[in-house]
Amino acid sequence: MHEKDRHRVILSAVQDRSVVTVAELCVLTGASEATVRRDVGTLDGQGKLRRVRGGAEALMTTPFVGLAGRPFSYNETINSVEKQAIAKAAVELCTDGDPIIINGGTTTFQMVHPLASLQMQVFTNSFPIAEHLLKNTRNTVLLSGGVIYREQNIILSPFDNDVTRNFYAKRMFMGAQGIGPLGLMEQDPLLIQAEQKLIGQAEELVVLVDSSKFANRSSLILCPLNRITTIITDDGIDDRTAAMLEAADVNLIVAPTKGAQKEGAVS
């Protein structure tokens, strides 16, 4: 790799991760440790980064526009067993050829693995979901257009007349920040605007949430409980919450996870 190309790679990596080690930069550039250290020294001298012990750091992090809430990379580490069981139960509602919408999220992302056995039309606003389905399944994938939000790995359009309006779905699968008596809750107004458009294109709304989400609250309501067709959760849901959903005429599917957790502990 030419020196200028190495410099571009190094600056990109430092800007993305704030601090990068020499060893990581060696892997990214294919250069020796001595060459990378020399490159870091050169870029430090040019005022493009700061040389630190064992690596380099950004002078300042680019303020990417983000959404309210935790990033995808963090959320995917939480309640992973429950999310896998919930997603598996969600795919069991699907049939070959169905047009569906899968909203971006860490629970809905887990649907990609069981979807490998089906061939469907999938509309999504999630880069990770689209990429995995394209590489590992026979499903037809349609992506929404708009602004890319890096931390949440989703695409949201600020325009009303986007491709969303041209897609019909038998079901839409989505997660949520929280669920309460007033309905489904989210934290960001732009997210709510985009998700409401998607909900309007689906006959049925299927919500995938682990049982911890029933204790979460937010100041913004996405839709009332009576708009939800089905909620899929894990066996940590309590009787009071189940009764609330039943009173709202929401179909409740409970995915067993306690056995899976025990098996994971043994292995």
Mean pLDDT by 10 residues, the chain (267 residues): 89 77 89 94 93 87 53 65 93 96 93 93 94 93 84 75 84 94 88 88 96 88 95 95 95 84 38
CATH topology of domain 73-255: Rossmann fold (3.40.50)
CATH class of the domain whose range is 3-64: mainly alpha
| Residue among 160, 128, 159, 126 nearest 143 (CA) | 126
Which pLDDT belongs to residue 78?
Answer: 76
Task: Check if the beta carbon of residue 98 is closer than 8 Å to that of residue 173.
Answer: no
Residues of the chain with CATH 3.40.50.1360: 73-255
Which pLDDT belongs to residue 68?
Answer: 55
Residues of the chain with CATH 1.10.10.10: 3-64
65: how many CB neighbours lie within 10 A of its CB? 10
Percent of the chain residues past pLDDT 70, beyond the cut:
86
43: how many CB neighbours lie within 10 A of its CB? 19
Which pLDDT belongs to residue 264?
Answer: 38
